[in-house]
Amino acid sequence: MYLYHLKAKNIVMSDTPLLVTCGLPYTNGPCHIGHLRTYVPADFFVRYMRHKGEEVIFVCGSDNHGTPIVISAEAEGITPREMSERYNEHFETTFKKMGIDFDRFGMTDDPTNHKRTQEIVQKLIDNNHIYKKIINQSYCPHCQMFLPDRYVEGTCPHCGEKARGDECDQGCGKHLEPGEIKDPICKICGGKAELRDQEHYFFKLGDFSDFLEEYLPQLKGTSNARNYASGWVKEGLHDWCITRTLNWGVKFPGSEELVVYVWVDAPIGYMSFTEEWAEKTGGDWEQFWKGSSPVIHFIGQDIVYHHCVFWPALLKGAGYMPPDAVVASGMVKIDDKKFSKSRGYVVWTNEDYLDLGLSSDYLRYYLLSYTSHTKELNFSWKEYQTRVNNELVDTIGNFFYRTLHFAAKKLGGIPQKEPEQEILAEIEKAILETERSIQEYEFKSAIEAIMALGSFGNAYIQTNAPWKLMKTDEEGAKQVIRNCLQIVKALTILLDAVIPDKAQKSWELLGYGDKVIDHTLSEAKTGFDSEILPNPEIIFDKIEDEKIEEYEKTLRMRVETAKLKEKSQKKEENMITIDEFAKVELKAGRIIEAEKIDGSKKLLRIQVDLGDEKRQIVSGIAQFYNPEELADQDVIVVTNLKPAKLFGVESNGMILAAGEEASLLTTKIKVAPGTKVL
C-alpha cells in the first residue's frame, strides 16, 4: 500500500508498536492551556498513527512527588496523597473532555512506580553510578528541619536574582543544586536558614558524556530538543544530587530519611505506566524499554534537559533503552504576554473554556494550527474566533453541510457512482502531504494540508453548483455530489485526529454506526457502507462577537485582580516590624538659629537645641521659611541618622516636615528640648 513507502525516515515500521507518552502534569493545580500545548499535539499524533494502521500505546499519569505538593497540601490541611488523588482525577477527566484518551493514566505515587524506581536506583548503585557525599544543605533552626528545593528561597549564585531552592525561576533559569542558593530563607517560617552538613547521594551524570554525545545526534523528534541537549553536553555535565530529606516520595534504597529527587521517579513513571497498561491488557511492557519498539516522549520545551540528558543517562546506567524520539513544544503566550498564572495571563481549561460549553475541538484546532510545534504559541480570543469561524465553520462546515444536505434531501442518499480520478488524486495528495509533515513533527503544515483539501472541496461544490446542474443534467449533479461525498469521507478520517468530536458526528452523518477512529486512511478513497444518509445537521457553530467580548472581559478582570494582589503584596513587603521602627530615634528639638547656605536655593543650615547637646542639621526648606522666623520653633528631629555632607556642610540629623510645602512637625504641648518621641 502506498502509505507504507513513506515510513522509512522517522516513524516505525508497521509491525512494531509505538509507545507515546506525555510530560506528566504536576498535581498541585488545575489544567490550563499551557498543558494542552503539549497534550493536544501528542493526541493528534497518536490518532493519526492509528488511522495509518499503526499500533500505538499512549500512556501518561500525574507527577505527585516533590516539595510544592507537600507545601500546597500543608496549606490546605490535607495529605500530599489526597491532594495528588484529587488533581490526578481532575487531569484524567479534563483530558478526556479534550478528546485526549490515554490507554493508561497512572500516578507516580502508586506502588508500581515506587517499586520500579527503587529497582532502577538500586541498579545504578550496583553499576557504580551513584556515590555518597556530605554537602552543606539549607537547614531551618527554628523549624528544625532540612529545607529541600521549594522549602527555601534566596539569591541565585549565578545571576543574583531572587530564586527558588531548586531553580532560578526569575533570573537565569539555571537548575540549582541543594546548598547552592545564597542567603537562604525558610519558606515555612520566613526565618533565616543556615547551612548544615548532611550526607546525600549523587548520580554521576558526567560519566555519560560520551554516551550522550553519540546518542543525541540520532535522537529523533524535534530539533530544539536535540540541539539544546547537545549544547549542554558540550558545556560539560555536573553530577546530580538525587536525594532529598523529605517524608513524601520514593524512599532511597536503604535509607529511612531520604527520598529520591522527584526528577528521578517522575520519568520512571513512563515505564511504570507502561507496566500498568501491560498488566491490564496482557501486553508486553519490556518490548518498549528493553527491546526495539520505539518510545516517543512529548514534552514542553522547558523540560528538555531532564528528558534528553538526565533521563537517557539514567536509563542507560540501569540497563534500559533510551527514548527513540523527544518532541518538544514551544511555550504559550496569552494576548502576546508571557503565560503567567500569578499575573493572570492564563486560560484555565475548565473554568475559562469547557465549563462555558465551548467545543473542545475548536481549542484543539487552534492549538494545532496556530504555529509550528516548536514555536511560541499566542492565544487570543479574537484570533480564536477568526480561525474557528473562517476556517472550520466557513470552509469545512459549509462544505460538509452543503454536500450532506443535497445528497440526503435532493438525491435521497449516496448516488450509485464511483468518485472521479481527479478527486481521488486530490485526496491522495492531501494524505501524502499530511504524512510528510507529521514525519517531521510539523503539525501546523499537516493541518494546512488537510484544510487545503477542505478548501478544494468547498471551491469544487461552488464551481460545479449541483443545485443548478440538477435542472439540466441530473446525472452530472449526482457525479458532483458523489465526488464531494468522497472528499467529506476522506476529510472526516483525516480530521478525526484534529477534531475528534466533530469528526465522529460527521462520520455518523455519512451513515456509519461505528467509530471513525477504527477506520484507516486507506478507506479515504473507498466507497460507503450504506446508501442511506440520516437527516443532515449543522455540526460547526459560529462563535458570536458578544461571546468573545465576554471571554476577553474575564481575562482582563483576572489580570487586573492579579495586579491589585501584587500591589498589596508589595505593600506588605514594605512593612516594618515594631523592632525595626524602634531603631529610629526621634526627639523634640528647638531651633536656635537658621541661615542660608551660600550657592544653594533650597538648603538652610540650622542649629538645634536637643537638651543635652546642640546639633547642626542641613534641611531643604529654604523656599518655604525665612531663616529668622524659624528661631525658637519647636521641631521633631531624627537624631540617629548617619552624618552626611550637603553642599559641603555637615548635617547630623533630619528635621521632619510634611508635604510638598514642608510643614514642620511639632508637639501639641511644649516639651523640653531633648524629649524622646515614643
**Cα torsion 147, 303, 91, 380: sign:** positive
Q: Min. distance of Cβ 158 from Zn ion in angstroms?
A: 4
- What residues between 186 and 215 interact with Zn ion by CB under 5 A? 186, 188-189, 191
Closer by beta carbon to Zn ion, 250 or else 303: 303
Judge residue 635's burial from the number of C-beta atoms within 10 Å of its C-beta, 0-12 exposed, 13-18 middle, 19 or more buried. buried
Strands (E), 486-525: none
Q: By CB under 5 A, which span of 36-44, 168-176, 275-283, 471-479 interacts with Zn ion?
A: 168-176
Work out whether 172 is an interface residue with Zn ion (CB under 5 A): yes
Q: How far apart are the first and last CA of the chain?
A: 92
Closer by beta carbon to Zn ion, 176 or else 396: 176
Among residues 158, 290, 410, 436, the one that binds Zn ion under rule CB under 5 A: 158
> One symbol per residue from 96 to 135: x for binding Zn ion (CB under 5 A), - otherwise; what is it?
----------------------------------------
Among residues 36, 69, 124, 140, the one that binds Zn ion under rule CB under 5 A: 140
Task: Give dist(CA 23, CA 40) in Å, integer.
Answer: 12
Sheet holding 220-221, edge to edge: 104-107, 56-62, 18-22, 295-300, 325-329, 220-221
Q: Min. distance of Cβ 153 from Zn ion in angstroms?
A: 11
Q: By CB under 5 A, which span of 38-46, 67-75, 183-191, 411-419 interacts with Zn ion?
A: 183-191
Q: Min. distance of Cβ 341 from Zn ion in angstroms?
A: 21
Cβ atoms of residues 180 and 140 within 8 Å: no
> Judged by CB under 5 A, how many residues of this single chain contact Zn ion?
13
- Calculate the alpha carbon distances from 505 to 415, 495, 675 in Å: 21, 11, 86
Q: Which residue's C-alpha cell is 527514548?
A: 323
Task: Give dist(CA 353, CA 283) in Å, integer.
Answer: 36
Task: Give dist(CA 12, CA 409) in Å, integer.
Answer: 45
- What residues between 581 and 610 interact with Zn ion by CB under 5 A? none
Task: Give dist(CA 152, CA 185) in Å, integer.
Answer: 6
Could you tell me which of 451, 312, 319, 325 has the C-alpha nearest to residue 392? 451
Could you tell me which of 141, 135, 175, 133 has the C-alpha nearest to residue 158? 175
Work out whether 142 is an interface residue with Zn ion (CB under 5 A): yes
Cβ atoms of residues 410 and 470 within 8 Å: yes
Closer by beta carbon to Zn ion, 164 or else 478: 164
Question: What letter does residue 340 receive in the DSSP assignment?
Answer: B
Q: Min. distance of Cβ 165 from Zn ion in angstroms?
A: 13
Closer by beta carbon to Zn ion, 115 or else 142: 142
Work out whether 576 is an interface residue with Zn ion (CB under 5 A): no
Closer by beta carbon to Zn ion, 142 or else 182: 142
Cβ atoms of residues 637 and 617 within 8 Å: yes
Among residues 71, 78, 143, 649, the one that binds Zn ion under rule CB under 5 A: 143
- Gyration radius of the chain's alpha carbons: 34
Q: Min. distance of Cβ 140 from Zn ion in angstroms?
A: 3
Among residues 13, 159, 532, 631, the one that binds Zn ion under rule CB under 5 A: 159
Cβ atoms of residues 172 and 105 within 8 Å: no
Among residues 29, 171, 253, 674, the one that binds Zn ion under rule CB under 5 A: 171
**Cα torsion 625, 628, 633, 639: sign:** positive
Task: Give dist(CA 301, CA 374) in Å, integer.
Answer: 8
Q: Min. distance of Cβ 168 from Zn ion in angstroms?
A: 3
Among residues 24, 36, 60, 156, the one that binds Zn ion under rule CB under 5 A: 156
Among residues 168, 212, 318, 328, the one that binds Zn ion under rule CB under 5 A: 168
Closer by beta carbon to Zn ion, 246 or else 606: 246
Q: Min. distance of Cβ 141 from Zn ion in angstroms?
A: 8
Question: What letter does residue 619 receive in the DSSP assignment?
Answer: E
Closer by beta carbon to Zn ion, 142 or else 382: 142
Closer by beta carbon to Zn ion, 170 or else 667: 170
Cβ atoms of residues 605 and 594 within 8 Å: yes
Work out whether 452 is an interface residue with Zn ion (CB under 5 A): no
Work out whether 152 is an interface residue with Zn ion (CB under 5 A): no
3-state secondary structure 294-361: CEEEEEEHHHHHHHHHHHHHHHHHCCCCCCCEEEEECCEEECCEECECCCCECCECCCCCHHHCCCHH
Q: Min. distance of Cβ 231 from Zn ion in angstroms?
A: 18
Q: By CB under 5 A, which span of 18-26, 151-159, 317-325, 378-386 interacts with Zn ion?
A: 151-159
Residue ranges that bind Zn ion, judged by CB under 5 A: 140, 142-143, 156, 158-159, 168, 171-172, 186, 188-189, 191
